Amino acid sequence: MKRTPLRAGKPLARRTRLARSAKRITTRTVSQRFAKRRDPAYQAFVRGYPCALAGRQAVDGRWHQCRGAVEFSHVKSRGAGGDDVGNGVPLCSGGHRWDAKAWHVMGPASFQRFWRIDLEEIAASLATMWREQEGA
């Protein structure tokens, strides 16, 4: 794309009002989309369980040390389309924040091999228990 220098005394071309409004994205529609996929009751249910990494020994021989309160951690990120039900595991603050950095560096498959854990299986079993509890 060739750029032309601005000339003195010549104003910049402005877009019309209709063109400006057509490109505008409001935050309200984005937040509503994510709000439909949230389930605070399910998150509280998952937080009631102990950390999924508690008592686990990594491949390198170190043991996971739980730190802080249990948090709801998505297996598949919300940005990638992960809902809450069937997609969350309980992790302590240490596992969720510090060890999750390794998740992003290694990738999910390597992270799960490193900790010898299947987070998708844990998330699925928690969702099954939730549905049974809700149906009863």
- Hunting for tokens 């919300």 — which residue is that? 78
Torsion of Cα atoms, 34 then 129 then 96 then 112, to 10°: -110
User: Which pairs from 75-80 meet CB under 8 Å and 24+ separation?
Assistant: 75/108, 75/119, 75/120, 75/123, 78/34, 78/37
pLDDT at position 93, please? 83
CA neighbor of 111 nearest in space, from 125, 126, 91, 129: 91
**Residues in the chain where the model's pLDDT stays below 50:** 30
Q: Report how far apart, in Å, the C-alpha atoms of 129 and of each of 69, 76, 77, 84, 118 are.
A: 22, 19, 22, 14, 17
Cα 19 to the center of its chain, rounded Å:
34
- This prediction has a pTM of 0.67
Residues 6+ apart with CB under 8 A from 34: 78
3-state secondary structure of 50: coil
pLDDT at position 125, please? 94
pLDDT at position 100, please? 59
Pairing type for strands 70-74 and 88-92 reads antiparallel
How far apart (Å, rounded) are the C-alpha atoms in residues 134 and 50? 21
pLDDT at position 48, please? 94
pLDDT at position 105, please? 72
